[in-house]
Amino acid sequence: KSNSFCTLLRETATAGVFGFDVLGIPTPPMGTIWSRIQAAFGTLPTEKEKRVLVLGLDNAGKTSILYRLQLGTPIATCPTVGFNLEVLTYKSVKFQVWDLGGQTGIRPFWRCYFSDTDAIIYVVDSTDKERMGVAKHELFALLDEEELKNSSLLIFANKQDVAGAASVTEVASALGVNAISNRTWTIVKSSAQTGEGLAEGMDWLVERLGGSAAGTA
């Protein structure tokens, strides 16, 4: 882990370069063009953007969920090597959303983005039953991070449209979510392809970040 490299990643993202490959070479992920258009022509926000990290193992559907929320339709995606950064508005709340790659070699660099995070969206592939233990390990590692102690947690049990997917109850049990007692959280069944559950999850997030009474769901 390198604090200087973490600083480089964040400063470069702010400057308008929105991706890195595993060697540290800038790469243009899906959000680059749209984000630059927003930066060049968008008006300055009148309210503070809520900073959200979208995390989870590779192939969980993180990028698919981000762009389903952004565009309102399913799109083809490729594995994120680095990150995608988008600003989206949901029910008058403006979110700055960081979708981080979930490959094994990239996960250690998640912590470069923890500072000032309001919420975590943790995406789980409900069809990947063999790696539920890994997903649980990574989730609880996040919950132990000091910089994330005040972050709300929304878990999407994703790919519910796929035959053989574990139910949201089964995913919750495999992740051991009932042991989470240090923050507000909820788990929602979802599908980036059909849109199932995404509005429900975002409604919950808006309620939490809007200052409603805290409580574990």
What residues pair up with 185 in beta bridges, in sequence order? 153
The share of the chain scoring above pLDDT 70, in percent, equals 75
pLDDT bucket at 13, cuts 50 / 70 / 90: low
Domain residues of the chain, as ranges? 3-209
Q: What is the pLDDT of residues 141-164, one digit of tens each?
A: 999 999 999 999 999 999 999 999
Which two three-digit tokens encode residue 33?
């063009």
Catalytic residue among 70, 96, 103, 193, which? 103
Residue 171: pLDDT above 90? yes
Tell me the average pLDDT across 176-197. 97
> Binding site: what residues are annotated?
56-63, 80, 102, 158-161
Which two three-digit tokens encode residue 67?
């762009």
Catalytic residue status for 103: yes
> Binding site for Mg(2+): what residues are annotated?
63, 80
Residue 30: pLDDT above 90? no
Q: What angle do CA 175, 87, 38 make, to 5 degrees?
A: 155
Please provide the DSSP assignment of 164-215 as one string. TPPPHHHHHHHHTGGG--SS-EEEEE--TTT-TTHHHHHHHHHHHHTTPPP-
The CA distances from residue 212 to 125, 143, 156, in Å, are 29, 21, 21
pLDDT bucket at 77, cuts 50 / 70 / 90: confident
> Binding site for GTP: what residues are annotated?
56-63, 102, 158-161
Residue 63: pLDDT above 50? yes
pLDDT bucket at 81, cuts 50 / 70 / 90: confident
Assigned CATH topology for domain 3-209: Rossmann fold (3.40.50)
